[in-house]
Amino acid sequence: MAPGVGKTYEMLSSGARRAAEGLEVVVGVVETHGRKDTEALVGPLEVLPRKPIEYRGRVLMEFDIDAALARRPKLLLVDEYAHSNAPGSRHPKRWQDVEEILAAGIDVWTTLNIQHLESLVEVVWRITGVRQQETVPDLAFARAEAIEVIDITPEELRERLAAGKVYVPETARLASDRFFKVENLTALRELALRRAAQTVDDALIGHMRRTGIEGPWAAGERILVLIGGDPLATSLVRAGRRLADVMDARWTVMHIERPNQPMSPAEAGRAAAAFKLAEQLGASVMNLSADDLPGAVLQYANRNNITQLVIGRAKGRRWRVLFGRSLAHVLLERASGAALHVITDATPGDSEPLPRPGRRPSPTGYAIALGAVAVAVGLATVIDRTASGANLAMIFLLAVLITGLSAGFGPAILAAGLAAVSYNFFFLEPRLSFAIGHATDLLTFAVFFVVAVIAGSLAGRLRDQARATSRRAAAIGSLLTASRSLSAVATRAAAAKALAEQAAAAVGGAAVVLLPENGEIQPAASAPLQGDAGVKALSTGAMAAARWAWEKGEPAGAGTGTMPQVGWSFWPLQGLKARSGVAGVEAGLIMPGSDEERLLLALLDQGAVGLERAELASASAEAQALRRSDQLRAALLNSISHDLRTPLSTVLGAATTLLDYGDGLKTPVRRDLLQSIREEADRLNRYVGDLLDMTRLEGGGLATRLQTTDVRDVLGAAIDRVQRRLGKRTLARDFPAELSMVEADPTLLEQAVVNILENAILYSPDDTAIEVAAYEDRANVVISIEDEGQGIPGPELERVFDKFRRVEQPSDRGQGIGLGLAISKGFIEAQGGRIAAASPIHGDLATGLRGTRVLISLPKAIATHHMLL
Amino acid sequence: MSGRPRVLVIDDEPQIHRFLTPALEAEGFEPLRALTGAAGLAELGHRIAPDAVILDLGLPDLDGQEVLLKARAVYAGPILILSAREKETEKITALDNGADDYVEKPFSIGELLARLRVAMRNKLKAVGAEPVVRAGALEIDLVKRRVLKAGEPVRLSPREYDLLAEVVKGGGRVLTQRQLLTKIWGPANANDVQYLRTYMAQLRQKLEPDHANPRHLVTEPGVGYRFMGDEE
């Protein structure tokens, strides 16, 4: 209940008892304040080392949450639940450390003074005059499975204080004298006991409800707390919580935004803070947008059976005044079946820490009003001189309208007032006086004033609404752009880049996207581009916050409860199925609860889905690649099975025929069998060579030795190698007398050409011609190999250089292994050349299309043979 | 032509024909060539049927199994299959589809011709025409359902005898596991290969001179069993 009652002592002695019973009890952190009896209790228990944290030149010894998580005791003792951690710790508050430890499945005992409970802060403040800075949200308190009240009488506590048994820091000694008054202590004691009783009651009611026992609880009470952007908002939330506790009722905190009255950043910040507090205190929160504030409230109240309405009445708050009546008045008149609680902000010695609300239109708006009316006065004076009798009131109306349209509602009303006064002063008889001479002029003035106010306010509203609409349109436009740019990307990296750019544009500052690589998140993209790699390096602290956001799936960094001092805010990117990364923006760019934040969050949602989509796409590409490689393996097996075994069958069959029947066979037959053995052995050798070449190409073990080469020499050698297989086909060569040298590997080039020639022989019938030509253009030497075979069907043309691809022939099946052209392509490209096929090249539709041309293009060597001369 | 038995070879590889033709001629056959499945089927349909067929299952125009089924529809003579060793299912399917035997590529010519002779002889004999089969010391009387080993009667259970008789009636031809299981244990047990293994082991214990190195009841791994007489 208060310092000095013996909480720590009690916790330690209970802990020691449990330890003696065999439970694994570890002290996470305990403040003994040098008290001997307390220290004696710590003695036998295992104590975790503290973590030194440097702050402003001092080293603070803080609770080491990581050590606790690593140690994993059954029960952890953590003193001072409400303690604020040193800046730079993972969490600002110790209760947040405890939350994480509980989440890890470790039981925790902790201590708490009643005045540190969030919902009681104001009550305590009113009683004692001391405002507690270190608070624990009621939700964190409600998590406790059991609470134990450490209670001694106020007199005893004061005695202990007098005897010096209570540790009070020097700095707080003055305040503490006031604090430790008997009345205060009695009040705190009552608060603590009531709170404990309430918890016991809650547990009892919960048990009765679970077991279906009818009980005395107040049924059906529902509380609605209406907050604005004023400083009263948090007080309203606390009041709502107290009411909810008393009534055991569900409660909702609602904020209504009026589109024609946008909130100032300060107001938005206060509303967001109140929302956060409401969530911590266990309320459901709700943000509505409506023009008719009382109407929206009552509609919600009726639909949701609200029985208790809590509203505030801040001093001098204009927006709660509707046509001269406060919101309270209107609700009182129109609400049915609900009790209305009006909370006023008259709290003793309240010093508003936040700046006064600045939601008024900027001074420029009022300057515009002033200027417009001044111009109107001048203009009217000129017109009055030149054309007497003109209706000057219209000029002032114009000024009011212009002010309304350009500066909004407030300035328009000011302009209306000014215009009426000026009109009266300068142009209504008697002039240069506020008096009004004629009765008709009085009427004119009155009507003018009314018209000016109405016109001005209408124009002002129109302009405010137009602004809101255009802001919304801009937001929607930016979302559309984002969704377009995000849906156009194919890879995670591109999606991250697009998201970073969109987020940076939305907040008007730096943004970064982090993606997991091998389980650790790393910055993947940032905007605007920074650093060598174009990705901004984050500080260690910022990375820790980002990692937290990634691991816990909760926002971290600036504006959150986790590591708020790192200078960045991070949000997890939650996709449809899983978390795909983390996005961060620089701190201070957006206000919590603002339109910008909503836009950013919508953007991040889209980004998360976009990232997920890109991940799926790349996964399916990988699966496809795998499937292709499986197909390739199947094709290879098939090739070895068929293409290698067929020649082997021939060799074995022919050899055994010779062995078994050799003597009985005629000489030409014997020669033919021997010939077939030789041919098939050649074929086998070629296949094995092809497979080895392909393996070299695939395995990346291909070393090219480029040298200045005369293509004609290579072509000659290649032709020599296939000469024997030509059969009845003719082979013509067409080489120019002078040809530039190329930079090539002669061995690889020769093999590539041989493969193409063998292919040409294989697919062209006897008595046709094969032509090998060479020529050059400006940069390249081109080799052309043409045959008059059946040609390659259109669809096959693109894939003719694929592995194990062969054009099936209806009769005599191709004898190739289907690797020749793939090897040629690999070899040519390894030398920096290109290869392509065209078909058909001969004949017409009447006589049948036929023929294939393969072109190899190689870059010329820098020194041409002309230069060598 | 004279009375030489005619053998149709259906294979798309000219190189195979190149050595099969002289080998078949030297062995006293008249070889007929077909380079595609369609040409082979035409040969079977139009002319006087050949005395035997050698069919390569890997054909460019038609699936080898399809050629086999179509051939079986019009032709009752022996059909020998050429197939790669690793394509076990292909061989089994071919045997189930009515092929008489198979030879694995690459093969020696002696092996092919020996298989061809066995297949032709078995087709010439009607099943059951030879009521008593002798192989080594074994004498199997298919009429009296009696088995003698070196003149001594061997006691066999009815199942064991049925299995032995079925293999023996194959006359050197491979019987697939499925064929034997369906015949003796019924279609419901067509996949219960362990029955076959157990009974075959028992039969070898009782009948083979050396059951670890069987001479008569020979396993074709992964395919089935065949009965070997004395001559091969």
Residue among A649, A657, A811 whose CB faces B106 most closely: A649
Q: Which of residues 97-116 of B touch A (CB under 8 A)?
A: 105-110, 112
Q: Using an 8 Å CB-CB cutoff, list chain B residues near A653.
A: 16, 19-20, 23, 106-109, 112
> Does residue B140 fall inside a structural domain?
yes
- Which residues of B are less than 8 Å from A649 in CB distance? 13, 15-16, 105-107
Our CA-based measurement puts residue A648 at a distance from the nearest CA of chain B, in whole angstroms, of 6
Whole-number pLDDT of residue A771: 92
- Look at residue A355 in the predicted model and tell me its pLDDT: 37
How confident is the model over B70-87, as pLDDT tens digits?
998 888 889 999 887 667
- Cβ neighbours of residue B35 closer than 8 Å, sequence gap 6 or more: A811, A812, B11, B12, B14, B17
Q: What is the pLDDT of residue A473?
A: 75
As a whole-number percent, the residues of chain A with pLDDT over 90 amount to 4
Cis bond before residue A555 (omega within 30° of 0): no
First CA to last CA distance, chain A = 105
Residue A799, pLDDT > 80, answer no
Q: How far is A755 from chain B (nearest CA, A)?
A: 22
Q: Please indicate, yes or no, whether residues B91 and B115 belong to a single structural domain of this protein.
A: yes
Taking the mean position of all CA atoms in its chain, how far away is CA B110?
Answer: 16
Residues of A in contact with B23 (CB under 8 A): 653, 657, 660-661
Q: Which residues of A touch B60 (CB under 8 A)?
A: 808-811, 813
Facing A680 at nearest CB: one of B12, B15, B107: B15
Rounded Cα distance, A481 and A685, in Å: 61
Q: Do A654 and B27 touch (CB under 8 A)?
A: no
Find chain A residues with C-beta within 8 A of B27's C-beta. 661
CA distance A615 to A627: 18
CA B75, CA B68: separation in Å to the nearest integer? 10
Q: Which element (helix H / strand E) includes B226? A: strand B224-227
Residue B172 lies in a domain: yes
Q: A457-512, pLDDT tens digit by residue?
A: 888 888 877 877 777 777 777 777 777 777 777 778 888 888 888 888 777 788 88
Structural domain contains residue B120:
yes
Q: Which residues of A touch B19 (CB under 8 A)?
A: 650, 653-654, 657, 673, 676
pLDDT recorded at residue A211: 61
The full set of domain ranges for chain A reads 7-210, 222-344, 363-465, 702-868
Q: Which of B58, B93, B124 finishes a domain?
A: B124
Highest mean pLDDT among A251-255, A334-338, A360-364: A251-255
A808 and B60 in contact by Cβ < 8 A? yes
ipTM at complex level: 0.71
| Chain A nearest-CA residue for B61 | A810
Chain A residues whose beta carbon lies within 8 Å of the beta carbon of residue B83? none
CB A552 within 8 A of CB A570: no
**How far A677 CA sits from the closest chain B CA (Å)?**
9
Residues 65-84 of B with CB under 8 A from A: 84
Percent of chain B at pLDDT exceeding 70: 93
pLDDT value at residue B80: 93
CB B120 within 8 A of CB B51: yes
Q: CB pairs under 8 A, 24+ apart, for B120-124?
A: B120/B5, B120/B51, B120/B52, B120/B77, B120/B78, B121/B171, B122/B78, B122/B170, B122/B171, B122/B172, B122/B173, B123/B76, B123/B77, B123/B78
In the block, residue with structure tokens 């029947």: A661
Is A657 within 8 Å of B27 when comparing Cβ atoms? no
Predicted pLDDT at B117: 87
Residue B180 structural domain: 132-227
Instruction: Give the pLDDT of residue B47.
Output: 63
Q: What is the mean pLDDT of chain A?
A: 78
Per-residue pLDDT band at A357 (split at 50, 70, 90): very low
Overall pTM > 0.90: no
Residue B127: alpha-carbon gap to chain centroid: 14
Integer Cα distance of A717 and A771 in angstroms: 15
The angle, 0 to 180 degrees and rounded to 10, between the axes of the packed helices A645-661 and B14-26 is 20
E strand map for A154-307: 222-227, 250-257, 284-289
pLDDT in tens, A143-172: 788 888 887 887 887 777 777 766 665 555
- Which of A652, A657, A661, A674 would best serve as a mutation to test chain B binding (most B beta carbons within 10 A)? A657
E strand or H helix that includes residue A601: helix A595-639
Task: Dump pLDDT digits (tens) for B76-121.
Answer: 889 999 887 667 788 888 988 889 888 888 888 888 998 898 888 8
B12 and B99 belong to one structural domain:
yes
- Closest chain A CA to residue B14: A812
What is the b/e burial string over B45-66, where b = at least 16 CB atoms within 10 angstroms of the residue's CB?
eeeebbbbbbbbbbbebbebbe
CATH number assigned to the domain comprising residue B220: 1.10.10.10
Helix (H) / strand (E) element for B102: namely: strand B101-105
Using a CB-CB cut-off of 8 Å, the residues of chain B touching A669 are 22
Of B19, B84, B87, the CB nearest to A676: B19
State residue A470's pLDDT score.
77
Phi, psi angles (nearest 5°) of residue A830: -65, -25
Say what the pLDDT of residue A811 is. Answer: 37
Q: What is the pLDDT of residue A863?
A: 54
- Domain finish residue from B124, B152, B167: B124
The reply to whether B103 and B157 lie within a common domain is no
Residue written as tokens 């050059």?
A776
B35 and B53 fall within a common domain: yes
Distance CA B150, CA A192 (A): 107
Is the domain of B118 the same as that of B177?
no
Question: Any idea what DSSP says for residue A693?
Answer: H
Residue B232 within any structural domain of the chain: no
What residues contact A314, with CB distance under 8 A and at least 6 apart?
A: A228, A230, A231, A232, A320, A345
Residues of chain B with Cβ-Cβ distance to A678 below 8 Å are: none
CATH architecture of A702-868: 2-Layer Sandwich (3.30)
CA distance B171 to chain A (A): 26
The phi, psi pair for A438, rounded to 5°, reads -95, 155
Please name the residue of chain A whose CA is at the shortest distance from the CA of residue B84: A641
Pairing of strands A520-527, A511-517: antiparallel
Confirm if A70 and A39 have CB atoms less than 8 A apart. Answer: no
The answer to whether residue B18 sits within a structural domain is yes
B107, B211: one domain: no
| B13, burial (CB in 10 Å: exposed 0-12, middle 13-18, buried 19+) | buried
Q: How many CA atoms lie within 13 A of B28 on its CB side?
A: 5
Give the DSSP H or E segment for A584: strand A579-586
Given a cut of 50, is residue A631 above it in pLDDT?
yes
| Exposed / middle / buried, residue A317 (Cβ in 10 Å: 0-12, 13-18, 19+) | middle
Residues B115 and B27 in one domain: yes
Give A217 or A301, the one with higher predicted confidence.
A301
Selected for mutation to probe chain B from A636, A639, A644, A656 (highest B CB count within 10 Å) is A656
In a domain? residue B1: no
B118 and B23 fall within a common domain: yes
Span A674-696, mean pLDDT? 83
Closest by Cα among B171, B189, B180, B181 to B226: B171
**Helix locations, chain B, DSSP H:** 14-26, 37-46, 64-74, 88-96, 109-124, 158-169, 177-185, 193-207
CA distances for A183 relative to A195, A600, B106, angstroms = 18, 51, 109
The string of pLDDT tens digits covering residues A73-87 is: 888 988 888 888 887
The residue-averaged pLDDT of A696-724 equals 82
Interface check for B88 against chain A (CB to CB < 8 A): the answer is no
Which of A589-603, A608-622, B44-58 shows the lowest per-residue confidence on average (mean pLDDT)? A589-603
Say how many CB pairs under 8 Å bridge A and B.
Answer: 84
Does the domain at A222-344 match CATH 2.40.50.100? Answer given as no
Tell me if B24 sits within 8 A of A774, measured CB to CB.
Answer: no
Residue in A645, A653, A680 nearest the CB of B20 = A653
In this predicted structure, what is the pLDDT of residue A809?
Answer: 47
The alpha-carbon gap from B83 to the nearest alpha carbon of chain A, in Å, equals 10
Other CB atoms within a 10 A radius of the CB of residue A679 amount to: 18
d(CA A198, CA B3): 115
Q: Is B14 on the interface with A (CB under 8 A)?
A: yes
The mean pLDDT of A834-857, rounded to a whole number, is 82
Question: CB–CB of A654 and B36 under 8 A?
Answer: no
Q: Search chain A and give the residue with CA nearest B38.
A: A811
The pLDDT assigned to A506 comes to 78
Instruction: Enter the tokens of residue B121.
Output: 């002889």
- Please give the structure tokens belonging to residue A540: 């260690």
- Domain end call among B108, B124, B140: B124
Tell me, yes or no, whether B28 and B58 share the same domain.
Answer: yes
Q: Number of folded domains in chain B?
A: 2
Q: What is the distance between the alpha carbons of residues A764 and A787, in angstroms, rounded to a whole number?
A: 7
Q: Is B86–A641 a contact, with Cβ atoms under 8 angstroms apart?
A: yes
| Shortest Cα distance, chain B CAs vs residue A655, angstroms | 8
Q: Do domains A7-210 and A702-868 have the same CATH topology?
A: no
Contact A651 B106 (CB under 8 A): yes
What would the 3-class secondary structure string for A789-816 be?
A: CCCCCHHHHCCCCCCCCCCCCCCCCCCC
pLDDT(A8) > 80: yes
The dotted CATH code for A7-210 is: 3.40.50.300
Q: Are residues B161 and B110 in the same domain?
A: no
What are the Cα distances from residue B78, in Å, to B51, B70, B123, B165? 7, 14, 6, 21
User: How confident is the model over A619-645, as a mean pLDDT?
Assistant: 71
Task: Establish whether the linkage from the previous residue to A92 is cis, with ω within 30° of 0.
Answer: no
| CATH assignment at residue B51 | 3.40.50.2300
What pLDDT shows up at residue A781?
92
Partner-chain contact A653 B109, CB within 8 Å:
yes
Distance of alpha carbon A536 from alpha carbon A527, whole angstroms: 8
| Cα angle A710-A713-A714, degrees, rounded to a multiple of 5 | 90
The confidence score (pLDDT) of residue A175 equals 53
Name the minimum distance, in Å, from the CA of B100 to any CA of chain A: 21
By Cβ distance, the residue of A649, A808, A812 closest to B16 is A649
B11 and B116 within one domain: yes
